[in-house]
Structure 1
């Protein structure tokens, strides 16, 4: 544990020393914790919100078209050399590109990542209300560096992975985080920030370009 984190937790413990053990400290959660929209409405809202962040969103009716869609996305962005995380389906990859595999036994260095055109990953979950994509380092998603260093990120999201609200997403990851310590990365559009004069600057702390392919169930 880092020194800064331990210092923060220490101050919290000190502030709670005079609180009786039997006092109810449960937080009142009066916000919405379950969505009310229909499945198609949730998917439509997710696509709309992701696009509002200046990400390009493409809808794919079924998985059989994913290879052609990845090829088209790469051609449109003029990318040829991409990193592929461990567990990403090989049969999704189109011909005519250079794909570099990253795995626990053969990690791509930060310098090599910086020299690639981008990365292609799956995701763990999507949140419609905020247009957020969530990664948990599972199969096909890779370690955090893969989606922070390259300039381009192409992310594959299945319709059934999309929930309506952030609390639903937190419920989904609670066990994996608490028991496995899985690192959670939340992505809401391409990397962007503002300088002191409020000029938008893209690509400072993550990919400058984000494309999202949503696979349907047709």
Structure 2
């Protein structure tokens, strides 16, 4: 199994929505995933071609940045890229670089859509550290939507983060 396939399988195990497309198909896939949002928050550095076809209002996380209350609005989604993704664990890694935004941006809204290019997927954690452009930046590692279990092992999603995580894997 190659790295993109392993990543998709593992991320799917964590109940992330997995979507596959080419770069040419990406705007259409994103438009479909975000069609039900009231608004979509965009961090600085999002690639403009990604936004072609979006029919919902976009909200840049500008100056001043959106507050936690702003980001907790019902129906709000966030669209980001990632720094790297780990195949072995199905984890996306954000380092607040261009197109990723700050931590609050990806941990508060109910729906997070993250774009991962095949060349960003590495095998394991040591490879992830080596692949980071600036390894001293604070990292946010996300493996599926927010989830917790009570003492009876009943799974509850979205208690302390997005209830829904959609990952779009972009293949050449």
**TM-score, normalised relative to structure 2:** 0.93
In the alignment, is the contact (CA less than 8 A) between 2:116 and 2:170 conserved in 1? Answer: yes
- Provide the rounded CA distance (Å) in 1 between the counterparts of 2:77 and 2:55: 15
- Provide the rounded CA distance (Å) in 2 between the counterparts of 1:71 and 1:177: 32
Gaps of 5+ in 2: none
Show structure 1 runs of 4+ deviating over 4 A.
none
Cα deviation for residue 95 of structure 1 reads 3.3
Cα deviation for residue 54 of structure 1 reads 0.8
Q: 3-state DSSP class of the match of 2:105?
A: helix
- Number of aligned pairs? 170
- Provide the rounded CA distance (Å) in 1 between the counterparts of 2:54 and 2:10: 32
| Selected match of 1:199 from 136, 154, 157 | 154
Q: Which residue of 2 aligns with 1:28?
A: none
| Selected match of 2:96 from 137, 158, 164 | 137
Taking a change above 3 Å as real, the CA distance of residues 98 and 197 of structure 1, as seen in their structure-2 partners, is same
- Provide the rounded CA distance (Å) in 1 between the counterparts of 2:168 and 2:15: 14
Q: Which residue of 2 aligns with 1:57?
A: 18
In the alignment, is the contact (CA less than 8 A) between 2:34 and 2:40 conserved in 1? Answer: no
Q: Which residue of 1 aligns with 2:110?
A: 151
User: Which runs of structure 2 are paired with 1:30-179 in the superposition (5 Å)?
Assistant: 41-61=2-22, 63-75=23-35, 78-93=36-51, 94-103=53-62, 105-115=63-73, 116-173=75-132, 176-178=134-136
Cα deviation for residue 110 of structure 1 reads 1.3
Q: 3-state DSSP class of the match of 2:131?
A: helix
**TM-score, normalised relative to structure 1:** 0.74
Cα deviation for residue 165 of structure 1 reads 1.1
Match status 1:211 vs 2:166: yes
